[in-house]
Copies of this chain bind each other. A is one copy, B any other.
């Protein structure tokens, strides 16, 4: 029996080696387009060139597979973030659902603004108001209950402009990019200012990124053992970690423990992640999504309440980072556009 197993293992090893040879073969004309939703242009070329350089063993820029860490912001980089962050839309829906048990909320700020639902008032909320909303929508429950609530909401709630599930508003070019990187032995991570427990219930299904590769903001949780031996983790109404701005390299160090060689963001909240990546000693790629397409998505940057892109855009331009012009560089923004075309 053993020799059969050994021969089979040898055969598999040869074929796996064959796969390795394919991915590290000398540069040649690509036989198929790994990024079909990207128009030809500088960003697409820069991505394909970078992946080629770090995966070819003969390249001076070669990076061994375990070091191929790629980090992506979520809101505005992997999916739409307008007119308010999706997680905030979730919180608004939760406040409205809970309002029947809290009749005083109709007159009481900040709940009043949430129940009435003025996007500008919501976007302009201060930290104190936000924390009050988070406390009633994200805390004082078990992690399992929160996960269930998110899972229910994300499979039913619709975006007001597109009347589509929020997970339909992921960017098709970025989903392709995640897959392309993984096919080249990159490990893809989300590094988001959003709540880690809000993203994990659906990140694997939607992005192919498992929960353990999602880094985000978090609240304090406490372990409890009940007298019947049942366990729970209780979500307290206290912020533990904000994974935004200078918190992103801190979060990357804490959760991943290696410096990325590839990072993509879209706002000033991603600047320090990009600076941290740019300061690595290996070949590295820094990218920004610039929202320039008011027709298919939104156009916003320096003045936006949500996803403000100002200092990071200046720094990207000054330092030669890749800036994706959504209108110019993406053939498709959302997958459902193609479905619509196909249905005509």
Interface residue ranges, A against B (CB under 8 Å) = 1-2, 5, 8, 11-12, 15, 18-19, 22, 31-32, 66, 69, 143, 187, 189, 196-197, 200, 204, 210-214, 218, 221-223, 225, 229-231, 233, 246-247, 249-250, 253-258, 272, 275-276, 278-279
- Given known A233-B253, A256-B212, contact A246–B222 (CB-CB < 8 A): yes
Q: Residue A229 contacts which of B204, B212, B246, B275 (CB distance < 8 angstroms)? A: B275
In whole angstroms, how far apart are the Cα atoms of A197 and B254 in the complex? 8
Q: A204-B66, A254-B218, A258-B212 are in contact. Are A279 and B31 (CB under 8 A)?
A: no
Instruction: Point out the residue from B189, B255, B258 that lies within 8 Å of A255, measured CB to CB.
Output: B255
Cross-chain contact A211 with B258 (CB below 8 angstroms): yes
Q: In the assembled complex, how far is the CB of residue A92 from the closest CB belonging to chain B, in whole angstroms?
A: 25
Asked if A231 contacts B275 (CB within 8 A), the reply is: yes
Bound: A45/B94 CA distance, A: 49
Taken together, the copies of this chain in the complex come to 2
- Nearest residue, chain B, Cβ from A228: B279
- Among B66, B196, B200, B254, the residue within 8 A (CB) of A196 is B254
Asked if A275 and B212 make an inter-chain contact with CB atoms under 8 angstroms apart, the answer reads no
Q: Which of B211, B246, B253 contacts A256 (CB 8 A)?
A: B211
- Contact partner of A221 (CB less than 8 A), chosen from B8, B200, B225, B253, is B253
Given A212-B255, A229-B278, 8 new contacts (CB under 8 A): A8-B22, A12-B19, A66-B210, A221-B250, A223-B246, A229-B279, A231-B275, A233-B253
Chain B residues closer than 8 Å to A221, beta-carbon distance: 250, 253-254
| B5/A200 in contact, CB under 8 A | no
Cβ of A32 and Cβ of B2 under 8 Å apart? yes
Least CB distance from A26 to B in Å reads: 15
How distant is the Cα of A249 from the Cα of B144 in the complex, in angstroms?
13
B-side contacts of A204, CB under 8 Å: 66
